[in-house]
Amino acid sequence: MNKKEISFLGLIVLGIVIFFITVTPTSSSSRKKGYNDYPVNWQKTKDDPTKHYDISGIMLYKEEVALRREKLLEKLFNVNLHYRYLSREARDRKMPLMLAAGNVPDFFMCPNKFIRKFSQNGYLMQVPYKMMVKYAPHLVKLINDYQPNAWQCTMDANGKNWGIPFLWAEGLYPRVGVWRVDWLHKVGIKKIPNTLQEMHEALRRFTYDDPDGNGVRDTYGMSGDIQYTPSTFTEVFGAYGSRPYCWIRKNGKPVWGGIQPEAKMALRTLRAWYKEGLIHPDFLTDDVFRQSKQKFANGKTGYLNYSCWYENFDKDSPTSLASMTANLQPGSEIAPGTPPYGPAKQRMQQTFGVVHYYSLVFGRHMAKTPAKVIRILKMFDRLYADQRLFIEAHIGIKGKHWDWADKKVGPKSGAVLLEPYRSNTYIRDAEGLIQTESLLGVGDPKISKKYLPAEKLKFNEKYRNSKWGIPSIFYYLPHNEKYSHDLLFLQKRFYGEIIKGEVPLSAFDKFKELWLKQGGAILTAEAQDMDDRMHKVFNKLGIKDKTFDEDHKLDKKTKTKQPASKPAAKKQSAALKTPPRTAKQAAVTKSVPKTTVSEIPSKVQKENKADKTKAASINKPEAKKPETKKSEVSKVNKAAPAASTPELKKEQTAAKSNLDSKAIIKAQKVIVKPVIPQKVTINPAKKESASTSTSALDKDKSPSISTTASNKDESASKDTSKDKKQK
């Protein structure tokens, strides 16, 4: 075959390819046309209970695909269920491939992060809100009562609904910190710290008063986990009224909490604590469920944040924090704390909220058989509303699979699985059962609480009060996936460098500017638009006179007042002035300058002079900024005063204009080349760091710019390394 023939054949092939590209519609256009082919007349659609259906679905947990549970639902709803299980590791990879190949089930549990993408690709069926209210009234009521903004998870940018979100009631309760009580007693403190100032004093004594009694200065107040946003010193930020990794409402408008003045005030305090040596240098790389937990159990730190839940204090459980600490530190004793009462005159801690990481959605082909959609909605609604069905589906039959922990006490003792289901995971999964303590994560809290121990309910009310935990007001924004990852990395980088003192405190203003330029301004505008659209959705769902954010109360100056009266506060402070410490402790403490929260401003003033010089080098490569007034510079350089001082009131007043709409619009128009975030470098500290391994975030519920909830892996290996500190 000569060159002319080869060229001729090539032209023919090229012509055929061009023809098919021109004639064949794109997948998106064909899918859009498919929607028009299947209009649904919901008013005339009715579900005949006598008609039998074969229903396929994808589930994300092993117990949900158990044969026992399938048979139970099949008998009640006259269906044949064909479930397929996708593991936690495979769902993000396999699910998009399955749908792209045309293997779309009748319904499936879809991770919220995929819903908008799948709806755009034509895989999903739109379900009007009216149909949700009519055929799944109990599920809708649960969402409306506990967290109405969960409907954002299934809503696209045009306000269309593509499914129904599920709840995770465990997210109602914040996870506060845990204290080493025996250490508190050794350093002369008889009460669990209640305020931010008391917390600082306890951490200072843990660091310098030799609480382990080995004669070596090798202990710290606490470590941290700056990579996992729900545990990033959230109790300290909350004491200043800040939620740095949440969308909050301020002055009636949604804003990002991480760029507000209150966050800067908390960073100033954390910066001073780190400089004083109270925070372990490994807080940049420690995982709160691994390295930080190991340091606490091994007697290197005396406070562990984000670890307070009922099961962690069960000494009979070998995997609990109490058992682990007692085995490694004989004679040790731990106790739950509370979020410290701070300058904002409130206790607050970031929490996930009750929104689960997945929602129930339907395949596009179900528009041809809408009666099946109604049957599926009824099935899941009854599964949540019918107490007997809910219990039998999740923990089985009383006397066969479960019973009361104490038969004499009865329901107040709580339900427990019987053997072999309690201890054997494989048998439990095969029967479709879950541990009774996990009931809060799968159903109606009012039903679940009836089968939990009364002690656990009291524990949650006292130490995990839902009033302390306020979730983000937004979970998903249209351009969240495009910007959130880089913006969170930018925030963590600046926060870490500011706390360690590698950049001046004034670098916070530079961070705020970069955050707005690199997509934050766009997300803020989308948040304001989403806020307006959500109110329209609430009207369709029958939500009246309800608010979906506790910040409304804060705007109306109805902040929670400190429960203790003035005389009680005096008694409390007197209690902290415990009997004199030993001569050995006094000698160690004498050589260390004492710093309290109220004294931080005077100690930071010298540091702020050096900050101005550092700030000039940081701001040098950027475009010219408008000159700031001297009064504003003085406010930035001043440290956080007490809540009642005039300086703080001025600073809070100035914070109201931090997200001026003109600045946002201007930031949207500026085209900025993407800035590659620099890695945080850990400079050699005065103390040797024991662990440098980083921990990955769980993407299911880890709060991004669209904060959502997930449990991190809590498995931990023993930390045999010892942290030594130079004098």
pLDDT the model gives residue 1: 64
Query: What own/partner pairs with CB < 8 Å and gap ≥ 24 does 82-91 have?
Result: 82/54, 82/55, 82/56, 82/57, 83/56, 83/57, 83/58, 83/59, 84/56, 84/57, 84/58, 84/59, 85/58, 85/59, 85/60, 85/61, 86/58, 86/59, 86/60, 88/60, 88/700, 91/60
Task: Output the six-digit token pair for 279.
Answer: 């925070």
Residue type, 413: S
What burial class does residue 162 get, using C-beta atoms within 10 Å of its C-beta: 0-12 exposed, 13-18 middle, 19+ buried?
buried
Residue at a domain's end among 418, 438, 468? 468
Residue 421 lies in a domain: yes
Same domain? For 184 and 148 the reply is no
* Whether residue 536 sits in one domain with residue 440: no
114-to-93, 119, 326, 383, 580 alpha-carbon distances in Å:
11, 8, 44, 25, 60
Q: Which domain holds residue 234?
A: 175-350+479-549+671-727
Decide: residue 268, CB within 10 A, 0-12 exposed, 13-18 middle, 19+ buried.
Answer: buried
Mean pLDDT for all residues in the chain: 78
More confident residue, 661 or 275: 275
> Are residues 264 and 361 located together in one domain of the fold?
no
Contact 282, 274 (CB under 8 A): no
C-alpha triplet 297, 230, 296: angle, nearest 5° = 10
The pLDDT of residue 351 is 84
Residues in the chain: 727
Domain assignment of residue 180, yes or no: yes
Instruction: Give the per-residue pLDDT at 686.
Output: 37
Structural domain ending residue among the three candidates 425, 443, 468: 468
213-to-135, 295, 299, 491 alpha-carbon distances in Å: 65, 17, 11, 39
Regarding whether 426 and 296 lie in a shared domain, the answer is no
CA pair distance 566, 132, nearest whole angstrom: 52
Which candidate, 296, 285, 283, places its Cα nearest to that of 337? 296
- How does DSSP assign 177-196, residue by residue? -EEEHHHHHHTT--S---BH
Residue 652 belongs to some domain of the structure: no
Cα 96 from Cα 117, distance rounded (Å): 10
| Three-state secondary structure call for residue 658 | coil
CA distances from 438 to 415, 425, 614 (A): 11, 14, 51
Total structural domains in the chain?
3
Q: What is the pLDDT of residue 279?
A: 96
Tell me the per-residue pLDDT of 150-183, one tens digit each, with 9 for 90 and over. Answer: 999 998 878 889 999 998 888 888 989 999 999 9
Residue 160, C-beta contacts closer than 8 angstroms, at least 6 positions apart: 119, 126
Quote the DSSP letter at residue 398: B
Position 544 confidence tier, pLDDT thresholds 50, 70, 90: low
Euclidean distance between the first and final Cα of the chain, in Å?
Answer: 86
Distance CA 81, CA 479 (A): 37
Q: Are residues 132 and 159 in the same domain?
A: yes
Does 696 fall in a domain? yes
Band (pLDDT 50/70/90 cuts) for residue 568 is very low
Closest CA to 402 of 388, 419, 386: 419
- Kindly state the percentage of the chain with pLDDT values over 70: 72
More confident residue, 687 or 331: 331
Averaged over 233-250, what is the pLDDT? 93
Which tokens belong to 499?
């706390």
Last residue of a domain, one of 449, 468, 487: 468
Which residues on neighbouring strands pair with residue 311, listed in sequence order? none
Assess if residue 300 is contained within a domain. yes
**Considering the domain boundaries, does residue 22 fall inside one?**
no
35 pLDDT band (50/70/90 cuts)?
Answer: very low
| 391 occurs within a structural domain | no
According to the model, what pLDDT value does residue 297 have?
94
User: Shortest CA distance to 507 belongs to which of 646, 679, 382, 636?
Assistant: 636
Residue 711 CB partners (closer than 8 Å, separation 6+) = 698, 701
Q: Do 330 and 359 belong to one domain? A: no
Does residue 86 sit within a domain? yes
Say yes or no: 328 and 440 in one domain: no
Q: Are residues 211 and 306 in the same domain?
A: yes
Phi (first) and psi of residue 355, to 5 degrees = -75, 125
Report how far residue 249's alpha carbon sits from residue 239's, in angstroms, rounded to the nearest whole number: 17
C-beta of residue 332 within 8 angstroms of C-beta of residue 213: no
The token pair that represents 676 in the structure block: 């590659």
Q: Which amino acid is at 685?
A: A
**456 and 494 inside one domain:** no
* Residues 304, 178 contacting (CB under 8 angstroms): yes
| Mean pLDDT of the 565-593 span | 42
Instruction: Decide: 523 and 477 in contact? Cβ < 8 Å.
Output: yes
Instruction: Tell me what pLDDT residue 621 has.
Output: 43
Under the banding of pLDDT at 50, 70 and 90, the label for residue 393 is: very high
Do 128 and 214 share a structural domain?
no
Q: Answer yes or no: pTM beyond 0.85.
A: no
Q: For 108-156, how does the pLDDT look when each residue is reduced to its tens digit (9 = 90+)?
A: 999 998 999 999 999 999 999 999 999 999 999 999 998 888 999 998 8
Q: 443 and 298, same structural domain? A: no
**Are 635 and 651 contacting, i.e. CB atoms less than 8 angstroms apart?**
yes
- Sheet containing 301-304: give its strands across: 220-222, 301-304, 178-180, 334-336
**What is the average pLDDT across 297-312?**
93
pLDDT value for 230: 82
At residue 324 the predicted structure's pLDDT band, cuts being 50, 70 and 90, is very high
CA 693-697-700 angle, to 5 degrees, is: 160
Question: What are the structure tokens assigned to 208, written together?
Answer: 């310098």
The CATH number covering residue 154 comes to: 3.40.190.10
Which residue(s) pair with 107 in the sheet? 57, 362
Supply 263's token pair: 């966050």
Question: Do 109 and 132 have their domain in common?
Answer: yes
pLDDT digits (tens, 9 = 90+) for 25-34: 444 443 444 4
